[in-house]
Amino acid sequence: MPELPDVQVFREYLDATSLHQRIARVDVRHEKVLGDVSAQALQRRLTGRTLESTRRHGKHLFVRVGEDGWLVFHFGMTGYPEYAKTKEPPEHARVVIAFENGFHLAYVSQRMIGRLDWTDDPREFIRRHRLGIDALDDRLDAGRFRELIGRKRGSIKSALMNHGTIAGLGNVYTDEILFQAEVHPRTAASETDQWTLTQIHRQMRRVLIVSIKSRAQPERMPEDFLTPHRGVEEATCPRCGTSLEKARVSGRTAYFCPTCQAMQ
């Protein structure tokens, strides 16, 4: 599922491929992926215009259209953007933005859980959707992080995954952050001491930045990362060799090392 690093990679991909080209037409193949905008309104707002710049907040990608407003991409479970010059866009392309140069930008979403939306103002969209501060926002320093997370109910993992608190972290990267910080995913957030919260904050920034540099590809991540071992049969901890364990935390499957991340 696309989380902050994946969406940042999508953003850089759009920046490198799709900006400043006139849009010839927009083909909405499945209206189910549209948020609060109709297919007709989307076509009217995009046709003849250009994509100008991008911005990311958590797992949302905002793309400025001319002077008028912003397209909002959310990629759900399996979505991604694809820029190409084939006659036929990919099978699961739900919206296809065709440029005058013959290329198109497809919003691909097999399970159609993601959304394509429109907003006049990203700040207003973030407020309306009650999204917390972006996990890589410079204003989210260790002090603010301790304050936000330390007062949450429930486990540290569910506190990190709550988008109303901090936006951008999902199941995979919260596991990685807690593995790097050597904290058990079921530790109560409110019982995590200040020193440990500071370590989690430091690892959150490091894991996200390193993962973006790895293009969010597990096979490119450092050898001591947990992520490449997810879902591998008889996976062992890359640090100590103990068999990795799985646990249900907030309805998601958490991977962790019972030795490195022993319950305190």
Binding site for Zn ion (CB under 5 A): 237, 239-240, 242, 257, 259-260
Give 77 or 240: the residue with its C-beta nearer to Zn ion: 240
Shortest reach from residue 224's CB to Zn ion, in Å: 10
Give 133 or 244: the residue with its C-beta nearer to Zn ion: 244
Shortest reach from residue 169's CB to Zn ion, in Å: 22
Q: Are 193 and 200 in contact (CB under 8 A)?
A: no
Give 63 or 260: the residue with its C-beta nearer to Zn ion: 260
Shortest reach from residue 183's CB to Zn ion, in Å: 13
183 CB neighbour count, 10 Å cutoff = 24
* Residue sitting closest to Zn ion (CB): 237
Shortest reach from residue 238's CB to Zn ion, in Å: 8
The rounded distance, in Å, linking the Cα atoms of 140 and 137 is: 6
Q: How are beta strands 166-167 and 133-134 bridged, if at all? A: parallel
* Residue 208 neighbours by CB under 8 Å, 6+ apart: 4, 5, 135, 136, 168, 173
Helices (H), the chain: 4-17, 39-46, 122-128, 142-150, 156-161, 171-181, 194-213
Give 98 or 237: the residue with its C-beta nearer to Zn ion: 237
Give 33 or 260: the residue with its C-beta nearer to Zn ion: 260
Give 188 or 262: the residue with its C-beta nearer to Zn ion: 262
Cβ burial of 90 (10 Å; 0-12, 13-18, 19+) is middle
* Residue 180 neighbours by CB under 8 Å, 6+ apart: 203, 206, 207, 225, 226
Shortest reach from residue 236's CB to Zn ion, in Å: 8
Shortest reach from residue 213's CB to Zn ion, in Å: 24
